[in-house]
Structure 1
Amino acid sequence: MFIAQAHRFPHEFWRYLIGSLLVIIASIVGQIPLLIALLMENGIDSFAGDSQQMMASLDPNLLTFLMLFSFAVGFLGLFGALRGLHQQSFKSVTTTRKRVDWKRILFGFSLVAIFTIVVTFIDYQTNPAHYELNFKPIPFLILFVIAVIFVPIQTSLEEYVFRGYLMQGFGLLAKNRWFPLLMTSLIFGGLHFFNPEVGQMGNVIMVYYIGTGLFLGIMTLMDEGMELSLGFHAGNNLIGVLLVTADWTAFQSESILKDISEPTAGADVLFPVLIIYPIFLLIMAKVYGWKNWKEKLFGKINIPETQLEAEN
């Protein structure tokens, strides 16, 4: 099974702690170009001021590229952790199948992409005063190239760290499935606490971030692999970056539309978590024949006896 297969590799929990630290250090190193660009544009004194204002001083496409670049460097940290600390392949932290199922990745991507496009179009038609057309052909084309290359890198790193690497690490530590599902979701959501959206909409939006982590984790455990979550996360972020931007979001991009409405956190935060995500899970369950939900989400991690004997 997805968590249990990591038992074939060195898996003492201290390795996961050091591996996580390697990813963090690599990501911080990857932020150096952004810091240099901000320093050159604003001067060193501006670092004591409003970070959002500093970010806005950069060209949106340059800012998008530099923010996403750190995730590419972060992947080097994850590669070092898997190879150096665990002697583990990316495939074994991706899926239980013989090979990565790209059709599943495409299905997850398409499901959320189509939904996001349709919902955004309906909202734009229903509430046109909430948007202004932001489309500029050349800047958008540059954004498109940057986003298509780097957004999947960003989302894939997050999936590999939380739904892959740490899901397996916490699972082998606790010898069950609910603990890694809960822990990875809380950490995933918690890391979004410093996003500008939280400052604008309040702490209630953490329900959305933690709920999204739970949704992606359930998807991974039920399907015994990360392919659906890889595709879904990439589709969600990529289409979001290309379609709509706002002054109060983490990414101010050269997207097609700009949301100029006053940000509020209410039903629009709870609706995806309580209604849309369960519907998506039911669709995936129907397509891929998911069964035995209780065991897959709350059951124990069963390590083959041959592996236990080899360890002892």
Structure 2
Amino acid sequence: MSDFISNIPFLNNAKSGKNSIWRYLITMFLSLFVASLVAGVLLGALIVIWAIFNQTALHQNFDMGIIYQLLQNPIFLIFLVGLSFSLSFFFLGLSLKVLHKKKFISVINTGNKVRWSRIGKGAIYWFVILAALDLISYIIDPGSFKISFNLQNNFWILALLALIAFPIQASFEEVFFRGYLMQGISLVFKKPWVVLLVTSLIFSLLHWWNGSTIVLSLSIVSGTFIIGLMLGIIALADNGIEMAIGVHIINNIYVSVIHSSPDGGLGNLPSLVVSPSDPYAAPLFLILAAVVLIYLLFRNRKEDVLRIFKG
């Protein structure tokens, strides 16, 4: 284990416990691959059982088309997200305790308890920024916005599932990328800004398959890279991931429940507002939003942000 002391106390948490590279590899394999595999197997078995009983009750022959339609349903995909990331959380927590001999709180902050108010602060600030940008976009081009809210559609099911699934997903991704992985990489790369870049790049590349076209995939990757940088800066400057968790949770809920795009990663959702995505303008809007958020959160703590790039 390295004796190097980082100027970011949160990164120094990496020095606790056991940090052999094989422990990181097994943890990543369990948290990312095995969790998704187990979730897929469980859901697959449940779907087949449901389809068989459903067809039997209707006295019809088994139709694979029913299963295919279910798998294409965006609301079902959100349910899958919740299940898969719940298992990811379980395997990550198990690995931290058994393999790394670390306390779970060590990948959240430098204290002894979760700072819940910071989660709320990050969520509120990011919601206001997203809503303001949407308002500006609507003023510029009102024709691109379509109000799709309808009491007869699946909006309430979407909202309920999103409020359950996305806090789990976003919290896991922050604990894993901005907590566990960022600390682990800091044992190799000593400069905080390098750690920030590497983790943001990994985070963004894993979102490549969310786009329906190459142009959209490139836009999504660049957008998630910007978001990764923003969340990483927040975590490093605040010595904890709580505000980043709040931002990430409200971001995922906003782009699924409030304002979605039919060509996004989850397809056609019964959101409040729907508009086509602009793969060229989206990254620029994200840069603006990220700068505004970081300024608002750290306008009286500029040195906490600057130290990330001084190490």
Q: Specify the alignment match of 2:40 in structure 1.
A: 31
Q: Compute the displacement of 1:238 (Å).
A: 1.1
Letter in 1 for 2:273: L
Q: Is the 8 A contact 2:210 2:217 kept in 1?
A: no
Post-superposition shift, 1:198? 5.2
Q: Give the match for residue 131 of structure 2.
A: 117
Structure 1 residue 169: Cα displacement = 0.5
Q: Is the alpha carbon distance of 1:110 and 1:172 closer, same or farther for their aligned partners in structure 2, counting shifts above 3 Å? A: same
Q: Which residue of 2 aligns with 1:257?
A: 273
Q: Which amino acid aligns with 1:279?
A: V
Would the aligned equivalents of 2:96 and 2:104 in 1 still touch at CA under 8 Å? yes
Which amino acid in the other structure matches residue 161 of structure 1? F
Can you list the C-alpha shifts for 1:277-311, whole angstroms capped at 9, x where unaligned?
A: 12211211125x24154433452xxxxxxxxxxxx
Q: In the aligned structure 2, how far is the partner of 1:118 from the partner of 1:104?
A: 21
Identity %: 31
CA deviation vs aligned residue, 1:159-181 (integer Å, no higher than 9, x gap):
11100000110112333323321
Q: Residue 194 of structure 1 aligns to a residue in which SS?
A: helix
How far residue 183 of structure 1 moved from its aligned partner, in angstroms, is 1.4
Counterpart position of 2:20: 12
Q: Deviations over 1:41-74 (max 9, x none)?
A: 9739x98xxxxx8843x3x433321233211111
* Residue 291 (1) aligns with residue 299 (2): no
Under a length normalisation based on structure 1, what TM-score does the superposition of the two structures give?
Answer: 0.82
Match for residue 62 of structure 1? 76
CA distance in 1, matches of 2:247, 2:118: 10
What is the total number of aligned residue pairs between the two structures?
A: 288
In 1: Cα distance, 2:143 partner to 2:44 partner: 36
Tell me, in whole angstroms, the C-alpha distance in 1 between the residues paired with 2:304 and 2:232.
16
Identify the residue that residue 30 of structure 2 maps to in structure 1: 22
1:276 deviation in Å? 2.2
Counterpart-to-counterpart distance in 1, 2:76 and 2:219: 31
2:150 paired with 1:148 = no
Give the conservation status (yes or no) of the 8 Å contact 2:129–2:289: no
Q: Matched residue of 2:203: which SS? A: helix
Larger CA deviation: 65-74 vs 102-111: 65-74
Check 1:191–1:129 CA distance in 2 against 1; reply closer, same or farther (3 A cut). same
What CA distance in whole angstroms lies between the structure 2 residues aligned with 1:9 and 1:17?
16
1:166·1:180 contact (CA, 8 Å) conserved in 2?
Answer: no
C-alpha spacing 1:77/1:297, structure 2 compared with 1 (3 Å): farther
Q: Which residue is equivalent to 1:43?
A: 64
Alignment partners' CA distance in 1, 2:299 and 2:136: 27
- Aligned partner of 2:263 among 248, 272, 276: 248
Question: Aligned runs of 1:1-312 on 2, under 5 Å?
Answer: 1-24=9-32, 25-33=34-42, 35=44, 43=64, 55-56=71-72, 58=73, 60-124=74-138, 126-137=140-151, 139-197=154-212, 199=214, 201-251=216-266, 252-259=268-275, 261=276, 263-273=277-287, 275-287=288-300, 289-291=301-303, 293-299=305-311
Unaligned runs of 5+ in 1: 48-52, 300-312
Contact 2:207 2:220 in 1 (8 A): no
C-alpha change, 1:271 and 1:255, in structure 2 (3 Å) is closer
**What is the letter of the counterpart of residue 307 of structure 2?**
E
